[in-house]
A and B are shown apart, each in its own frame.
Chain A
């Protein structure tokens, strides 16, 4: 385990878990349960309030989540800034097509972007049906001891593991 950690520019998982738990407890103390899929609703709501205000007003899903001038929207924008700052100060360059994907499906960006788009559609459709995502339901929910969070977490991990086996087949295993 120690030799493995030396090879990677990533943080140790235990310290990182402590750091993120600190941020989560800070969020509970200053706002409430953290969530990120709700930020998508705030974003779409803000867009619709400009182009189709009547429609946004008529739909329950937009009525139940605050619009762009909210903690939820600021949080997801903050995530993008945090990712930007972290990426700028990181040794490893980013790729538009992940290695394991390229090994299985080739370097086509269009193919990867299409799959990424469909995947994005599915994770948000699922999150909005459940009422939260990895953060808003699994992490937030489980932190509050909610059975919904534990149930959602167990199923998303299981299904994602199965899906990646089907998507990548044996290619994932060929790496050193």
Chain B
């Protein structure tokens, strides 16, 4: 338990430091990413996933890391993503970046964090009502690319190559209007 806390703290410090250094804690840079003017953050994100998927594949070859595959609920995951996208476009912070940005000293991030705590409390109150109505009926279960392609190694490589291509395409499509941090 104590080891978990130190590991969590250490991982969080490293994570927070890196996302500040790429500009993910800067809501101006995030807004410019969403406006397709600055490609750095989105291509950083998709390339991180590509590397991580291959890294996890390596980890799974040598041991049994704990994995949690969340089910895909067509309705709930979709509606949740729409609500999330509106909030993300409005504030420019994510549930993770707002902690790092608050630590960096950004006052608007503190308000996103407070709004997030209220949003969490409101959802927790409604959990028993919303999950049976929205989540469970349209859930197709914890489906993965492994199920689709029949093989974990193949699935991971398809994902990694696909995401690397995304990173390349974002570089082509974004940032045609100059650059500023």
CA distance A79 to B175 in the complex (A): 29
- Take A101-B27, A157-B85 as given contacts and tell me if A60 and B127 are in contact as well, using a CB distance cutoff of 8 Å: yes
Closest to B177 in A: A173
Per DSSP, are chain B's interface residues mostly helix, strand or loop, or mixed? Answer: helix
Chain A interface, >50% SS class: helix
**Cα separation A116 to B103 with both chains bound (whole Å):** 16
Q: Tell me which residues across on chain A come within 8 A of B45, comparing CB atoms.
A: 134, 138-139
B40: A residues at CB distance < 8 A:
10, 13
Scan B142-178; emit 1 where CB is below 8 A from any A CB, else 0: 1111101000100110010001000000010001011
- For A14, what are the chain B residues with a Cβ–Cβ distance below 8 Å? 47
- A107 located at the interface, meaning its Cβ lies under 8 Å from any Cβ of chain B in the complex: no
Expressed in whole angstroms, the minimum distance between the Cβ of A115 and any Cβ of chain B is 6
From B26, B44, B112, B146, give the contact of A119 (CB < 8 A). Answer: B112
Q: Is the CB of B68 within 8 A of A32?
A: yes
* In the complex, chain A residues 84-139 whose Cβ is within 8 Å of any chain B Cβ: 84-87, 90, 92, 94-101, 109, 112-139
Chain B residues with a Cβ under 8 A of chain A: 1, 4-23, 25-28, 31-32, 34-37, 40, 42-45, 47-53, 55-56, 58-59, 63, 65-73, 76-109, 111-125, 127-128, 130-131, 134-135, 140, 142-146, 148, 152, 155-156, 159, 163, 171, 175, 177-181
